[in-house]
Amino acid sequence: MPSAVEAYLSVPEEVLAQNPILTLARSAARRIDSIRTRLGTDDVPTLVSPTDFSSIVLPEMLGLLSAETERRLTADEVTAVTMLEARTHRLNRENEAALNVIEVGRDRLRRLRAGEPGPALMLQAELNLEHGRNLVGAGRFPEAMRVLQRVVQFAEIYAPNSPHPLLAGLVETALAGMGHGQGPDMDRNLERAREDARRFGMAALPDEYTALCIELMRSLDQLALDAAGQILIALEQAKPTQFLGPIPHMLRSLWLVYEGRASAAAKLLVESPQSQEYSVVKARQAFVFGQHDPLWTATGQLLAGDEGPRLKSSAMALRADMLHHEGRSVEALEAFVDMLDYCAITASVVAVTQLSKSAREALIPASADCSEWVAVARSFNSVEITAAVLQKRLLELPETSPVSPDFQTDLTPAEQSLLFAIDSSKSIAQIAREFGVVAGTLKNRLSALYRKLGVRSRAEAVAHAHRAQQR
């Protein structure tokens, strides 16, 4: 490696200006050289682990994909330029723009002249890795898993003795599995990544922060709260190498709720980015406002779509909780058991934790002998986790859904979202940005909401909502 780094660093500028591949290679060499200088070692595993290759961007390459140039780009150059331009968009949190660039690049590759050599396999794997990351960022988890699995397959066949792209592919596939709800696959991919990292002599994964987030999710999936606490400590010490959106905040807030610290969890979520378009959030709002039909509509969309078993289990949990509060115990139990089927696929009981304590205390004992509990326990592939253990952990949890769904209102979904938004410490400007409007427009909407509720201020509107929920 030292001699390779020196070779790339010595490439003349006039050569680099004509070759995107060499420019990218020299940028990687610079990263390694910086780490080598800081750590004072030439040991390859020690250098590779902390070197963040996935954030290398080359501004001078932007626009080459669509620009009309005298020199025709080779297949390798098209692939590298596509990957770099897509990466720039991803780092700017523009996943859809990145996916559009990747489609343009792939179209260029499909139109190669007959007999012209295609891109090198390693560059194809790099582009697939970037494609998969952007699909994860866009929430398109099934597609992401298919693309990322091709990265892993390439690495297993053509680069089995190299940490890259094998380790990155395994971790990203596990991350996609987390979003979709494929618990056993998450476990296998992450365990494989850890084993291979040790085989390469690496003490930690290159993207240790993401790996720890996935492991934290798996601990919370089975309510192993002591283990989750230890992972959180390690997470505080790890350096993030990619933007994971609200995932770290949501995981920490879940742990705080399970530890009985709901107020701290609420503060954390209020201060973190959230998506008003998230379907399960809309269903949750309908539950809070005691609106049966809107909840059924929102959860029906989730159950009929391809969002994956994690979100589907949450949808069924909301249905079971609503039916329980309506006194429809037989239907509530049926919905609860259906939810357990999704939990077995996901290898997670997080959906069960979303039920109010009264619903859990009624529905868990009523379903205790159902075979679905055994399937959920087996999905964790651990002799220590049995149906009885999971049921005990769930019943010992504090209240995780303190709001009673009794707030009947004629507010529109948009007005409900606005009422949720102002029940926070966020400024009007922040809320306006989330809703995609200017501050003046938001103030007009708030004034209309206040008139409808019969109040005169933001504080009075929030207090009115809280009083209505308590009645």
pLDDT for 275 equals: 43
pLDDT for 270 equals: 52
Cα 178 to Cα 184: distance, rounded to the nearest angstrom:
10
pLDDT for 166 equals: 95
8 A C-beta contact, residue 351 and residue 316: yes
Q: Which two tokens stand for residue 393?
A: 């952990």
pLDDT for 274 equals: 46
Q: Which amino acid is at 356?
A: S
Cα 192 to Cα 231: distance, rounded to the nearest angstrom:
19
Cα 431 to Cα 439: distance, rounded to the nearest angstrom:
8
pLDDT for 338 equals: 95
Q: Where are the alpha helices (DSSP H) in 164-271?
A: 166-180, 183-199, 208-221, 225-237, 247-258, 262-270
- Note the Cα 430 to chain centre separation in Å: 23
Domains in the chain, please, with CATH?
Answer: 52-206 (1.25.40.10), 217-270 (no CATH), 279-396 (1.25.40), 413-470 (1.10.10.10)
Structure-token match 């679905």, residue found: 372
Q: What is the pLDDT of residues 413-423, one digit of tens each?
A: 677 777 777 87
Residue segments in the chain with a per-residue pLDDT below the cut of 70: 68-71, 262-286, 288-290, 402-411, 413, 465-471
pLDDT for 50 equals: 81
- Radius of gyration of the chain from its Cα atoms, rounded to whole angstroms: 25
With the C-alpha atoms ordered 110, 112, 117, 122, is the resulting torsion angle positive or negative? negative
369 burial type by CB count under 10 A (0-12 exposed, 13-18 middle, 19+ buried): exposed
pLDDT for 378 equals: 94
Q: What is the pLDDT of residues 395-445, one digit of tens each?
A: 999 888 765 555 555 667 677 777 777 877 778 888 887 777 888 888 888
235-259: burial string, b at 16+ Cβ within 10 Å, e else: beebeebbebeebbbbbbbbbbbbe
pLDDT for 173 equals: 96
Size of the chain, expressed as the number of residues it contains: 471
8 A C-beta contact, residue 314 and residue 354: yes
